[in-house]
Amino acid sequence: MVTADVPARLARWLLRRLEGQGAAQPARLVLTELKQSIAAQLGTTSETFSRALRRFADAGIVQVQGYELTVLDAQALAEVAWPNTRGGRARRSLATFGRVGAASS
- Does 94 map to a domain? no
The pLDDT tens digits along the chain (105 residues) read 445 699 999 999 999 998 877 666 688 999 999 999 999 999 999 999 999 999 999 999 999 998 999 999 989 999 999 987 654 344 455 555 443 333 333
Q: What is the 3-state secondary structure (H, E, C) of 13-37?
A: HHHHHHCCCCCCCCEEEECCCCHHH
- Does 104 map to a domain? no
Looking at the structure of the chain, the number of domains it has is 1
Q: What is the pLDDT of residue 98?
A: 44
Domain boundaries, position 74? 6-84
- Does 23 map to a domain? yes
Q: What is the pLDDT of residue 88?
A: 39
Q: Answer yes or no: pTM beyond 0.85.
A: no
CATH of the domain at 15: 1.10.10.10
Q: Look up residue 68 and give its DSSP letter.
A: E
- Does 96 map to a domain? no
Q: How far apart, in whole angstroms, are the C-alpha atoms of residue 93 and residue 102?
A: 14
Contact 75, 41 (CB under 8 A): no
